[in-house]
Amino acid sequence: MNGGSNRNGGDNRNLDIANRPLLRAFRATIAYDGGGFSGSQLQKNRRTVLWEVNKALSKVLAHPVRVKVASRTDAGVHATGQVIAFRTSAWRTPEQIRRGLNGLLPEDVRMTECAETDFGFHPRHSAVGKVYLYRILRAKELPPMSRQYVCFIEEHKPFDAGLLKRIAALLEGEHDFRSFSPRLEEGENPVKTIWHAGVTEDQSLIEVRFVGSGFLYQMVRRMMGLLIAIAGGRETEETLRNALEEPSKGSVKYNASPKGLFLDRVVYSQEELEQVLNESVGS
C-alpha cells in the first residue's frame, strides 16, 4: 500500500497541512533603558535589545524568533515607543505573549503592548512618521538618578534656551539631511521631512521634540549636537543653515550624548500623525 494515501484515497500530506497551526502576525511596542545595551540591533558578542527580545520570545513561543524593528537606536539611546513585529504559529493570545515575555526579560526592557496584525505590516516600512525626544538638564550638579537620562549642561556655562528654540525651527520642512549622518544605507534617500522641531522648558529641564517622516543614522544626535553648540556660543546659526543648504555627508561633527535621546513613538496612520502634531504644537 502506498504510504502517501489514506483509506479514503486521500493524501496524508493534505491532512498534515490541514492540521498544522496557522501562522499569525503580531506587532508590539517595547520600552527600554538603553544604558546597558550596545544598541538595538543584533551584534556579535554584544548585548543588544533585540538579542534579549529574540531570546525571551523564542522561549515563550517555543520556536526560534527573529523580530523586525521600526527604528535602530545607538548604544545608550532609550525608547518608550519602539515597535517590533514577529510571526508565530503558537496558540497564545497577545496578552499571554506580553506577560510571558516580560516574565523572562531583564528589568531594562519591557513589552508594553501586543496585538495581532496583518501580514503586510512591517514596523519600519509601514511607518509614516517617528517621534524623538531629547532632554537637556541645566543645573549646578547632575543628580545621580538622572545621569543616564539627560544631557547635562552645567548652569554656569553659556547657554541660550531662547536661541535654541528659534534655531530648532530652522530644521522644519523638507531637507537633504546628509550633513547630519556619517553614513547612508545603500539606496537610502537623505531627503526627510521634519514637521515639528519644538523646544519646551520646565524649570531646569529642556526638552526638544522632533516629529519627522524618518531619520538617518545618528541624525537626531548630530542635529542636537549642533543646536547645543550654537546655543552655547561655540557655533553660529550660519553653520546650521550651511549644513541644510549645502549638504555634505557627515559634515556636522557634533554628536550629542545618547543619554538624552528617546525614541518616543512610531506613527502608522495619517490620523495618528495629525494627533501627534496637534499635541506637539500645543505643548
- The answer to whether the CB of 65 falls within 8 A of the CB of 85 is no
CA dihedral 86, 90, 91, 96 (to 10 degrees): -60
- The answer to whether the CB of 135 falls within 8 A of the CB of 257 is no
Residue of 33, 74, 118, 176 marked active site: 74
Strands (E), the chain: 24-32, 68-69, 78-88, 109-117, 129-139, 151-154, 173-176, 191-202, 205-212, 261-267
Active site residue 74: yes
Residue keyed to cell 515607543 = 81
| Vertex 66 angle, CA 128 and 53, to 5° | 85
Burial of 97 (0-12, 13-18, 19+ CB in 10 A): buried
Residues tagged active-site? 74
